[in-house]
Structure 1
Amino acid sequence: MQPTQSLSLAYLAYFAVLGVFVPYVGIFLDHRGLNSQQIGTLLAIVTAMRIVGPNLWSLLAAKRGDPVGVMRLGAVLAAFGWCSTFVDAGYSMLLLGLALYSLCWTAILPQLESAAFHYLNNDTGRYSKVRSSGSVGYILLVVGSGMALEQLGPGFLPGGALLFLVLMLLALWQLPAFSLQATSTEVAIKFRTLWLHRPFVLFMFAAFLLQLSFAPFYSFFTLYCRDLGYSGTASGLLIALAVAAEVVAFFYAGKILGQRSYTLLLGVCYLLTALRWAVVGWFGHLPYVLAASMLLHAFSFAVAHSCAMQFIQQFFPPAQRGRGQALYAGLIYGGGGALGAYIAGWTWQDGAGSQLSFGWAAGACLLAFLLVLGLPRIIRPIGVADTVS
């Protein structure tokens, strides 16, 4: 297989596993007899692994100089941890197994993003088309798993996810190994140096706020739809519509970015996301309006993510991009997602606080918009001797 084909297959398999796991793991754990406290504790540990795991694996990748090898090791150990779901050996065994799965699963995506830009010669347009296969995998498995749940019950989940874990292993073993070694002009990047770099701070805080704003949607959207009188099928179709818009946007992201300022595009994405949450919170009872708001996911996620990847590629020198991806994944997806879920849990109030929750989500996006206005048009890389002030 060509590297682009292997990358596409790896993205598809990675997000297909998430399409099985994320929407349906709660139902599976309930099926296993866990109470709400046990489920909450287990999912909290899984989320915590997303915060600490990426940076641990990126340090190993930097030390070994073998990003592909680290991805393969992580995938093997993740599959091993996932096998704990096949045997009903009690809560403790399931907790340990899923903790191992989650920790090792975080080895893959940051290094895969770094590898994609390496193989694709930093071409954002080609990257976006390859990355769209992940969105396709997610939407197919969300819909397919819903059908499997109706026909087979929650017991389908272990085997369904393992099938795509194996596919991930096959894809990673098709990728040729490569090494990103530091050049003589690169200097070691220290954590404190990053947080003294104003563009980096502005970018990270804005991205953190964007991910924070997704919490009411990710945590409560299906319940919100139910409370508004939508059927489960309608809720699924609305989510599918959002992911379909994401797929299209990823496919054309190269043309959308073009020579345009990523700062301008990020600002547009944050404003449109603020509009999206306001519409969901105040006009969600109008089916066509709610459906139209789902199309804004193209900007809320796909275009915003492509801009973020471009920032990391420009800001970090080649040997440090895996570390940059890991830092982004841990702080933004792990930290932003966890904090947002905690806040949403307090403000949702069993549906009574739905407008409050989507209101603060919109406010977070407006603040993110103000932050990106301070970003320079051109990002100079950190860690290169002649560009460090």
Structure 2
Amino acid sequence: MPWWRLSNFYFWYFALLGGVGPFLALYFEHLGFSPARIGELLAMPMLMRCLAPSLWGWLGDRTGQRLPIARWGAFCSVLAFSAILLRQDYLWLMLVMAGYSFFWHALLPQFEVITLQHLGDQAARYSRIRLWGSIGFICTVVILGALLDRWSLDIYPLAMLVILLLILLASLLVPAPARVVQRHGAELASGFLRSLRRPGIPAFLLAVALMQLSHGPYYSFLSIHLESLGYSRAQIGGFWALGVVAEIVLFLLIQPLLRRVSLPALLIASLLLAALRWVLLGSLAEQLPVLLLAQLLHAATFGCFHVAAIHFVQQHFDAAHQGQGQALYATLSGLGGALGALYAGYAWQTLGPLPSFLIASVAALLAAAVLAVRR
């Protein structure tokens, strides 16, 4: 069991997210783009998350070569992102965002399956490996936040490129798991379609999309929002890190919950807490205790929801369809995230922070209602 090599991959993969989530919007603002343009640029990686995982997931299930696919994705994402060093105009950046994210989104669905295959009948220990991704996220937001305060946002692209190179290196260190016997293409496709018709699957997929849509203002504009309220970039990095610390604690404690509470109940609870969190961030983020509470709720809105969703997919798709199942989860997340980034950009520019977060809260409540009715 390559425990530390898998953990190392998750560390660097989510370290990149620790640079993208809190600071990419600030970088685009630094370049002079409007909120609407920022929303469009941030939507492009999410749009690629709608398209790429299904392609890579199908290819992984069809060939069984998940690890080589992930390694090539990591290599191509490095090449594509390096183009950001050449130019920073809107159309060029849109192409860079599309190119690097198309290949980068090949990685996680493949590695989720690889990790679960390595774990075998110890799948409940997944969260102990995944928590290293959260630690990587924290390291990036804290260190990069301090560096950006000390120097300039001009160093941001180079920092992200270094992390992408480390993701590539980490993928090369992971051994391949035992191969699953592959079925013929027609049988594979029909079996996957049958899985989609199982009770609860459509409601789950809709809830996933709505949950990610509700994160639109958070991932796109939280850092800009907090900076406008007078917080420094180092403090902003600290607030993001606090949320992920809460997520790590959740990963360490969630195994008893998975045994005692149903997955739909965990998903619904996460959605209800998300609705509360968005209201708090939109209306009371200038009050430090409220902001700290809202960030602690990240344990539920991301950590609990993600772990429950990964286990839901594993339980409802058989071994031959795990790649496509995880890819479909990523695709619906990407669709919701893309729509969330787009609506957040236009809403932020025309309506402001509070209405943008209130729309997010309504989306989370709607997702909870869908699961409660169709569970």
TM-score of the pair, normalised by structure 1 = 0.85
Are 1:343 and 2:323 an aligned pair? Answer: no
Residue type matched to 1:78 in 2? Answer: S
- CA RMSD across the alignment: 2.8
CA contact (8 A) 2:213 2:340 kept: yes
Q: Which runs of 5+ in 2 are unaligned?
A: none
**Would the alpha carbon gap of residues 231 and 257 (structure 1) be closer, same or farther in structure 2, given more than 3 Å must change?**
same
2:161 counterpart residue number: 162
1:66 counterpart residue number: 65
2:128 counterpart residue number: 129
| Offset, 1:65 | 1.2
Are 1:354 and 2:365 an aligned pair? Answer: no
Rounded Cα–Cα distance in structure 1 between residues aligned with 2:75 and 2:27: 23
1:323 counterpart residue number: 324
TM-score of the pair, normalised by structure 2 = 0.88
**Would the alpha carbon gap of residues 360 and 188 (structure 1) be closer, same or farther in structure 2, given more than 3 Å must change?**
same
1:384 counterpart residue number: none
1:17 counterpart residue number: 16
2:277 counterpart residue number: 276
**Would the alpha carbon gap of residues 121 and 86 (structure 1) be closer, same or farther in structure 2, given more than 3 Å must change?**
same
Are 1:171 and 2:170 an aligned pair? Answer: yes
Rounded Cα–Cα distance in structure 2 between residues aligned with 1:317 and 1:44: 32
CA contact (8 A) 1:84 1:98 kept: no
1:369 counterpart residue number: 368
CA contact (8 A) 1:49 1:106 kept: yes
1:290 counterpart residue number: 291
| Offset, 1:85 | 3.0
CA contact (8 A) 2:149 2:234 kept: no
How many residues are aligned here?
Answer: 371
- When structure 1 is superposed on structure 2, of 270-279 and 302-311 the one drifting more is 270-279
2:305 counterpart residue number: 304
| Offset, 1:173 | 1.9
CA contact (8 A) 1:263 1:375 kept: no
Structure with bigger RCO (C-alpha 8 Å, 6+ apart): 2
CA contact (8 A) 1:182 1:318 kept: no
Provide, for residues 13-57 of structure 1, a one-character-per-residue CA deviation record: whole Å limited to 9, x for no partner. Answer: 1111222334333555566x6755876665443332221111111
CA contact (8 A) 2:39 2:342 kept: no
Rounded Cα–Cα distance in structure 2 between residues aligned with 1:159 and 1:208: 32
| Offset, 1:72 | 0.8
**Would the alpha carbon gap of residues 42 and 317 (structure 1) be closer, same or farther in structure 2, given more than 3 Å must change?**
same
CA contact (8 A) 1:11 1:134 kept: yes
Residue type matched to 1:296 in 2? Answer: L
CA contact (8 A) 2:243 2:296 kept: yes
Identical positions, percent: 37
- When structure 1 is superposed on structure 2, of 321-330 and 266-275 the one drifting more is 266-275
Rounded Cα–Cα distance in structure 2 between residues aligned with 1:40 and 1:354: 14
Q: Which runs of 5+ in 1 are unaligned?
A: 377-389
1:244-263 to structure 2, matched below 5 A, reads 244-263=245-264
CA contact (8 A) 1:15 1:134 kept: yes
1:76 counterpart residue number: 75
The structure that is helix-richer by fraction is 2
| Offset, 1:181 | 2.6
| Offset, 1:141 | 0.7
Q: Which is higher, the Rg of structure 1 or of structure 2?
A: 1
Rounded Cα–Cα distance in structure 2 between residues aligned with 1:94 and 1:73: 22
| Offset, 1:257 | 1.5
Residue type matched to 1:156 in 2? Answer: I
| Offset, 1:230 | 4.1
Rounded Cα–Cα distance in structure 2 between residues aligned with 1:259 and 1:124: 16
**Would the alpha carbon gap of residues 164 and 231 (structure 1) be closer, same or farther in structure 2, given more than 3 Å must change?**
closer
- When structure 1 is superposed on structure 2, of 265-274 and 159-168 the one drifting more is 159-168
1:81-230 to structure 2, matched below 5 A, reads 81-88=80-87, 96-178=95-177, 179-182=179-182, 187-190=187-190, 193=194, 195-230=196-231
CA contact (8 A) 1:21 1:157 kept: no
Residue type matched to 1:341 in 2? Answer: A
Rounded Cα–Cα distance in structure 2 between residues aligned with 1:327 and 1:21: 22
Where 1:177 maps in the other structure, the secondary structure is coil
CA contact (8 A) 1:125 1:255 kept: no
1:379 counterpart residue number: none
| Offset, 1:312 | 0.4
Rounded Cα–Cα distance in structure 2 between residues aligned with 1:346 and 1:165: 30
**Would the alpha carbon gap of residues 269 and 89 (structure 1) be closer, same or farther in structure 2, given more than 3 Å must change?**
closer
CA contact (8 A) 1:122 1:313 kept: no
**Would the alpha carbon gap of residues 315 and 88 (structure 1) be closer, same or farther in structure 2, given more than 3 Å must change?**
same
CA contact (8 A) 1:124 1:254 kept: no
Where 1:123 maps in the other structure, the secondary structure is helix
Residue type matched to 2:311 in 1? Answer: Q
| Offset, 1:249 | 0.9
**Would the alpha carbon gap of residues 199 and 48 (structure 1) be closer, same or farther in structure 2, given more than 3 Å must change?**
same
CA contact (8 A) 1:77 1:104 kept: yes
CA contact (8 A) 1:129 1:252 kept: no
Rounded Cα–Cα distance in structure 1 between residues aligned with 2:12 and 2:329: 21
Where 2:188 maps in the other structure, the secondary structure is coil
Where 2:120 maps in the other structure, the secondary structure is coil
Provide, for residues 97-155 of structure 1, a one-character-per-residue CA deviation record: whole Å limited to 9, x for no partner. Answer: 44322111111000011111111125343110110111111111122112222334234
- When structure 1 is superposed on structure 2, of 311-320 and 287-296 the one drifting more is 287-296
**Would the alpha carbon gap of residues 21 and 362 (structure 1) be closer, same or farther in structure 2, given more than 3 Å must change?**
closer
Rounded Cα–Cα distance in structure 2 between residues aligned with 1:220 and 1:107: 26
